[in-house]
Amino acid sequence: MKYVFGIVAFVCALTTFSPATVTDSMIQAMSGWQTCSTCAGSGSTPHSMTQHISSPSLTGNSTQYWLGGGSPYHNAIWWKQLTPVSGASHFVYDLYFYIRNPGAAQALEFDVNQSTNNRKFIFGTQCDIRGSHQWDVWDTANHRWVTTGIGCSAPPAYQWNHLVLEFQRNSNQTTFISVKLNGNLRYINRTFNTYHASGSELNTAVQLDGDYNQQNYSVWVDKMKLTAW
**pLDDT above 50: residue 172:** yes
Indicate whether 6 belongs to any domain: no
Q: How far apart are CA 4 and CA 24, in angstroms?
A: 22
Region of poorest pLDDT, from 38-42, 109-113, 142-146, 194-198: 38-42
Domain that includes residue 34, residue range: 22-228
Question: How far apart (Å, rounded) are the C-alpha atoms in residues 173 and 178?
Answer: 16
- Angstrom distance (rounded) from CA 129 to CA 37: 20
Mean pLDDT of 147-167: 97
Residue 199 pLDDT > 70: yes
**Residue range 138-164: mean pLDDT, rounded:** 97
CA–CA gap between residue 103 and residue 81 (Å, rounded): 30
Does 8 map to a domain? Answer: no
Asked if the structure places residue 148 within a domain, the reply is yes
pTM of the model: 0.90
Local confidence band at 18 (pLDDT 50, 70, 90 cut-offs)? low
Is the residue at 97 inside a domain? Answer: yes
Is 3 within a domain? no
What residues contact residue 217 under an 8 Å CB cut-off, 6+ apart?
Answer: 66, 67, 99, 100, 101, 104, 105, 208
CA proximity to 163, closest of 101, 221, 82, 84: 221
pLDDT tens across 100-130, in order? 999 999 999 999 999 999 999 999 999 999 9
The more confidently predicted of residues 89 and 42 is 89
Report the pLDDT value the prediction gives residue 19, as an integer from 0 to 100: 53
User: What single string gives the DSSP state of each residue in 122-159?
Assistant: EEEEEE-TTTTSEEEEEETTTTEEEEEEEE--PPPSSS
Q: CATH number of the domain that 101 lies in?
A: 2.60.120.200
Other Cβ atoms within 10 Å of 203 Cβ, number: 20
- Note the pLDDT of residue 11: 33
* Residue type, position 109, single letter: E
pLDDT on residue 13:
41
Q: Is residue 74 domain-resident?
A: yes
Rounded mean pLDDT of the chain?
91
* pLDDT tier for residue 12 given thresholds of 50, 70 and 90: very low
Structure letter (DSSP) for residue 110: E
pLDDT value of position 78: 97
What pLDDT, on a 0 to 100 scale, did the predictor assign at position 42? 76
Report whether pLDDT(46) > 50.
yes
Point out which residues pair with 53 in neighbouring strands.
62
Residues 129-150 have pLDDT tens digits of: 999 999 999 999 999 999 999 9
- Is residue 11 one of the residues assigned to a domain? no
How many structural domains comprise the chain?
A: 1
Query: Is 164 among the domain residues?
Result: yes
pLDDT at 55 > cutoff 60: yes
